[in-house]
Amino acid sequence: MNTQIIKHNTAAVADFCFLLLAAGFIGICSQISVPIGPVPITGQTFAVMLIGGLLGPKHGAFAVMIYLFEGAIGLPVFAGGSFGAHLLLGSTGGYFLSFPCLAAAIGYISQTSWSHGLKIAAYTVGAWLGLAMGALWLSYFIDHAFLLGFIPFLGIEFTKALLVYAIHRKA
């Protein structure tokens, strides 16, 4: 048997296992949840940004898609141990659907040679765009979605972006 094929297959299996671990990390961070209204404060966006920056745009986004798939098929990986495809289409579905884009954006930004301040600003804007996408989706379900699903999270997402950036700098 060709040893190059074995090395390639071994590397592919190792990569996939690493992506599963990354998806599991997002699921664990999702259990950090503080209900404050129609949208809880969770550790999901922190984990999504961290994974995106550490794994890069392609692998980070793929790890997030695995996480979403796990929750959709019934693994209790979403906030509060919730699960089900209906959550991806429910009132908070826009936030979920923004996660692969957020991971890819942070993965791309982390690989640039931009200044520290510009990277922090870009991480924050990326997180805020995910919030905006979620709030827009939420507006189909409730009134005052921007007030309830965007404004209260601006400072929290900025703090998460700072923390993620600090970890990325040390990694």
Q: What is the SS3 assignment for 77?
A: coil
Confidence of residue 10 (pLDDT cuts 50, 70, 90): confident
**β-sheet bridge partners, residue 41:** 34
Question: Cα–Cα distance between 86 and 89 in angstroms, integer?
Answer: 5
* pTM as predicted: 0.93
> What are the tens digits of pLDDT across the range 117-162?
999 999 999 999 999 999 999 999 999 999 999 999 999 999 999 9
Domains of the chain: 3-170 (1.10.1760.20)
